[in-house]
Amino acid sequence: MKCFEYNKKNDFICKKKNCRYWLENKESNNCCLNFEKKEKITLEEIGKIFNVTRMRICQIEKNALNKIKDQIKKLL
């Protein structure tokens, strides 16, 4: 069982701050892989999780989508 699965199953708050997936968010047991929300999440909410602005999240999203589009174009 992986660390984040164990933490989620046992409702354990992760304390491994050196883990690449660690983030200070008790709702997700301090693991970005455990973050779940049933309804849609806004860019502002994501920004609060990662302690950056909504605009920065928007920039990251736009950059990621452009990279995906470029990869699709290469395949066609």
pLDDT, position 64: 96
30-65: pLDDT as tens digits: 777 666 666 777 888 888 878 899 999 999 999 999
> How far is the C-alpha of 36 from the C-alpha of 17, rounded, in Å?
20
φ, ψ dihedrals at 62, nearest 5°: -60, -45
Q: Which residue has the higher pLDDT, 12 or 69?
A: 69
The token duo for 20 is 């690449």
Confidence class of residue 21 from pLDDT cuts 50, 70 and 90? confident
C-beta separation of 3 from 16 below 8 A: yes
Whether 76 shows a pLDDT value over 90: the answer reads: no
Q: Is the pTM of this model over 0.75?
A: no
